[in-house]
Amino acid sequence: MTDSVTVGSDAYEQYVEAGDILTTVLSEAADRVTVGATHLEVASFAEERIRELGGEPAFPVNISVNEEASHAAPGADDDTEFGEDMVCLDVGVHVDGHIADAATTVDLSGTPELVEAAEESLAAAIDMVEPGVQTGALGAEIQDVVEAYGYNPVVNLTGHGMDVFDAHTGPTVPNRGVDSGAELAVGDVVAIEPFVTTGTGKVTEGAATEIYEVVSSGTVRDRRARQLLDDLEQFDGLPFAARWLDGARAEMSLTRLERADIVRSYPVLKEADGELVGQDEHTLIVTEDGCEVVTA
C-alpha cells in the first residue's frame, strides 16, 4: 500500500515535480509519433528529455502499437517505423524515487473514438475520486463510459498505487465494476489507467521482451552475470530496458539472472483477439476535498 503523502511535504513536492516533467515530456513525445518516425527515436527522445529536465525514467518508455497493450519497448537496434497505427505512449518519471506515471494514445489508424473512450472514462473516474471512495466504484464508472462508446475495458489490466521506488503497489484500480475494492484515503498516490479495446477485453503475454526488473537478491557463478547485477543497482529496483545496458554479453547475463529468479522479464501484453487497444492515464494524489492530478 502506498504511504500517505502530506500536501506541502518534501515527498509531495517531488511527486509534483515528477508530474510536471512527465506532462512536458509526454506531450513532446506524442508530437513525434508520426508515420515514418521510428519507435526507438521516440523512446530515446523521451528518456533523454526526462533527464534533461531533472528527472529519471521510472521505467522504460512503453510504445504499444495496435493490439499491444503494455510492456512494449524498442530494442537497441530497433528500426520499426510507425504506420497507420494506434499508438499508446506510457511514460514514467521519478524524482528521488517519487514517481509520476501517465499515458496517452496517438491515433494514426483512423479510430479516434477509441482514444476518446479512454480519455472520457479516465476523466469520469477522476471526477469521482475523494477520500472514502471504493476503487471498485471507479472501475464501474470506467466500464460504464467505455461500454457506452461500444467498446470493452481490458479487465485484466488495472491502475495502481505508487510508493517510493515502487511503480506498482496497492491499491489496485480496476477497469470494470467489482464488489470488492480498496477505500482511497487522503495522501494516497494513485495512477488510474483505463485500457479500451475493440476486442473482448483481455490481454495475454507475447514472446517479445525488452523490459526487466531485479526482483530478489541472490548470487550466480558466472562472473559477467555478477558484474551485471552490480551494474543494475543503479536502477534502484525500478524496471529497466535491455538497451540501457553496456556490453555485448549483457543479453546472456540477463538470461542467467532470470533463470536464477533474480531478474524478472516483462513480456509484451497483447489483446487476446488481436484487436486495437487505447489507453489513457494520470497520476493523482488524494486530497481532503478530492484529488490533485499531478500529470495534467
| Residue 13 is labelled as binding a ligand | no
Q: Which class for 32: exposed (0-12), middle (13-18), buried (19 or more C-beta within 10 A)?
A: middle
Is 281 among the residues known to form the active site? yes
Q: Is 160 annotated as a binding residue?
A: yes
The rounded distance, in Å, linking the Cα atoms of 43 and 29 is 8
Q: Is 39 annotated as a binding residue?
A: no
Asked about 90 being catalytic, the answer comes back as: yes
CA-to-CA distance for 30 and 28, rounded, in angstroms?
A: 6
Q: Among the options 120, 193, 210, 280, which is catalytic? A: 193
Going by C-alpha positions, the residue among 67, 69, 70, 64 that lies closest to residue 82 is 64
On whether 98 is known to bind a ligand per the annotation, the reply is no
- Supply 147's cell numbers: 461500454
Question: 94 labelled as ligand-binding?
Answer: no
* Strand 240-241 versus strand 195-197 pairing type: unpaired
* H/E segment holding residue 167: strand 166-173
Let me know if 282 is a catalytic residue.
Answer: no
Question: Is residue 103 a contact partner of residue 120, using CB atoms and an 8 Å limit?
Answer: no
Active-site option among 20, 67, 85, 101 = 101
Q: How many CA atoms lie within 13 A of 274 on its CB side?
A: 0
Catalytic residue at 193?
yes
Could you tell me how many residues make up the chain? 296
> Which residue of the set 68, 188, 210, 281 is catalytic?
281
Nearest to 121 by CA among 134, 140, 105: 140
H or E segment and range at residue 68 = strand 68-70
**Set 85, 90, 188, 275: catalytic member:** 90
Contacts of 183 (CB under 8 A, 6+ apart): 132, 133, 134, 135
Candidates 160, 188, 210, 271; catalytic one = 160
Which residues fall in the annotated binding site for a divalent metal cation? 90, 101, 160, 193, 281
Active-site residue list: 90, 101, 160, 168, 193, 281
Which residues fall in the annotated binding site for substrate? 71, 168
Which residues fall in the annotated binding site? 71, 90, 101, 160, 168, 193, 281
